[in-house]
Amino acid sequence: MSLPEVVSRDEWLAARKELLAKEKQFTRERDALNADRRRLPMVEIDKDYVFEGPEGKVGLLDLFEGRRQLVVYHFMWLDDGDIGCPSCSAFVDQIGHLGHLNARDTGSNHSTCTA
């Protein structure tokens, strides 16, 4: 691996300002994309899903204790052992205690597969 070119402070500052302009444009585009994602239409769940739980058959609302919002995360595992994907692990760690989600009328569930 070769190191970057060594330049004067003025040359570095000019290059840094050019990169900063690109970073700001990228941020604006990412923010616009995220806003588009939030405006996506929703699909009403009208199918009567039935699940087998510890207490027998339950519906979707019963499965998540009647909460109106649901978070489903697909957590992946590494092929070479019983080790979670580092990115998935970091994401789940950031959720914290499920009580925080539950306090906002949000239930959670997860599915797993091998990456």
pLDDT profile of the chain (115 residues), mean per 10: 95 98 98 95 86 83 77 80 84 76 68 41
Residue 109: its pLDDT value, please?
Answer: 55
Concatenated DSSP letters for 35-77? HHHHTSPP----S--EEEETTEEEEHHHHTTT-SEEEEEEEEE
- For residue 6, the 8-state DSSP code is P
Distance CA 96, CA 83 (A): 19
Residue 23: its pLDDT value, please?
Answer: 98
Residue 107's CB: how many other CB atoms inside 10 A? Answer: 19
Residue 96: its pLDDT value, please?
Answer: 67
pTM of the complete model beyond 0.85: no
Distance CA 107, CA 115 (A): 25
Residue 112: its pLDDT value, please?
Answer: 41
List b or e across 21-54, with b for residues whose CB sees 16 or more CB atoms inside 10 angstroms. eeeeeeeeeeeeeeeeeeeeeeeeeeeeeeeeee
Please report, in angstroms and rounded to a whole number, the separation of the first and last CA atoms in the chain: 30
Question: Regarding beta strands 56-59 and 50-53, do their DSSP bridges make them parallel or antiparallel, or are they unpaired?
Answer: antiparallel
